[in-house]
């Protein structure tokens, strides 16, 4: 049997607009994640967004609703944007991998991290989005998005919260994923994670504001 394509490339449309990408991504079979998932969760936001945020993979809520960051992690992200003074209307949010990956435990669907192959397979969608959006500031949320966009040698915990030298955008900052706040064991550790996220988002906003 021939090898699976294991890459989204053959599914990308000729015409490159965000709407055309979104429509085509709905039928992507570039890796094994499409089948158990409900739908493709494509990026969302204005084409002229100043900021683009890249998360990991849609969660349970996102899979059902077909929109990124609408569940608990999205609430954390929204709160951090407000605290950092970033207007949600100026942001486009998307994910490194566009189908929910989960494990079924009884009636529950437990989020799983996408593996290296799936991250690589889905990367053409993300690069096509970035190519159209050309944001002024790119914020990379967590290790999966960092792996996709900055390579596997990038050390998130050593390099988060500082402007990175990258061709991806004039300002590129990596930070923790908002869901790491939700995994905090108590209120104190959740607040500590929240503070890191807000502080790193402020770095992105302030770097952008510099003349």
Q: Which residues bind ligand SF4 (CB under 6 A)?
A: 8, 25, 28-31, 33-34, 40, 97-99, 118, 121-122, 125
Contact call for residue 156 and ligand URA (CB under 6 A): no
Q: How many helices (H) and strands (E) does the chain have?
A: 8, 6
187 φ/ψ angles, rounded to the nearest 5 degrees: -55, -35
Out of ligand URA, ligand SF4, none, what residue 98 binds, judged by CB under 5 to 8 A for its kind, is ligand SF4
Calpha distance 140→30 (Å, rounded): 23
Out of ligand SF4, ligand URA, none, what residue 179 binds, judged by CB under 5 to 8 A for its kind, is ligand URA
Structure-block tokens of residue 131? 């190519």
Task: Work out the end-to-end distance of the chain between its first and last CA atoms, rounded to an integer number of angstroms.
Answer: 57
Structure-block tokens of residue 57? 């993979």
Contacts to ligand URA from residues 95-134, by CB under 6 A: 95
Nearer to ligand URA, 50 or 94 (CB): 94
Cβ atoms of 89 and 105 closer than 8 Å: no
Out of ligand SF4, ligand URA, none, what residue 198 binds, judged by CB under 5 to 8 A for its kind, is none
Site string for ligand URA, 4-43 (x = CB under 6 A): ----------------------------------------
Task: Output the smallest distance, CB 21 to ligand URA, in A.
Answer: 17
Question: Which residues touch 180 (CB under 8 Å, ≥6 apart)?
Answer: 142, 193
Cβ atoms of 50 and 136 closer than 8 Å: yes
Sign of CA dihedral 11, 52, 132, 89: positive
Out of ligand SF4, ligand URA, none, what residue 42 binds, judged by CB under 5 to 8 A for its kind, is none
Nearer to ligand SF4, 83 or 132 (CB): 132
Calpha distance 172→170 (Å, rounded): 7
Site string for ligand URA, 51-90 (x = CB under 6 A): ----xxxxx--x-----xx-x-xx----------------
Structure-block tokens of residue 47? 């084409």
Binding site for ligand URA (CB under 6 A): 55-59, 62, 68-69, 71, 73-74, 95, 179
């Amino acid at each position: 049997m021939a090898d699976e394509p294991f890459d989204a490339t053959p599914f990308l449309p000729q015409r490159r607009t965000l709407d055309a990408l979104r429509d085509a991504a709905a039928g992507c079979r570039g890796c094994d994640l499409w089948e158990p998932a409900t739908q493709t969760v494509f990026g969302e936001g204005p084409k002229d967004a100043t900021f683009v945020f890249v998360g990991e993979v849609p969660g349970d809520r996102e899979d059902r609703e077909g929109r990124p960051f609408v569940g608990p992690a999205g609430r954390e992200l929204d709160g951090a944007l407000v605290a950092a003074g970033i207007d949600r209307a100026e942001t486009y949010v998307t994910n490194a991998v566009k189908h929910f990956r989960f494990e079924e435990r009884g009636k529950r669907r437990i989020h799983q991290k996408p593996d290296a192959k799936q991250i690589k397979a889905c990367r053409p969608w993300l690069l096509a989005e970035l190519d159209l959006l050309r944001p002024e500031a790119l914020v990379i949320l967590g290790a999966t998005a960092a792996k996709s966009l900055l390579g596997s040698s990038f050390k998130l915990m050593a390099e988060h919260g500082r402007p990175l030298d990258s061709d991806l955008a004039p300002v590129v900052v990596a930070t923790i994923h908002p869901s790491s706040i939700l995994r905090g064991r108590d209120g104190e550790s959740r607040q500590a994670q929240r503070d890191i996220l807000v502080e790193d988002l402020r770095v992105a906003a302030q770097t952008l504001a510099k003349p």
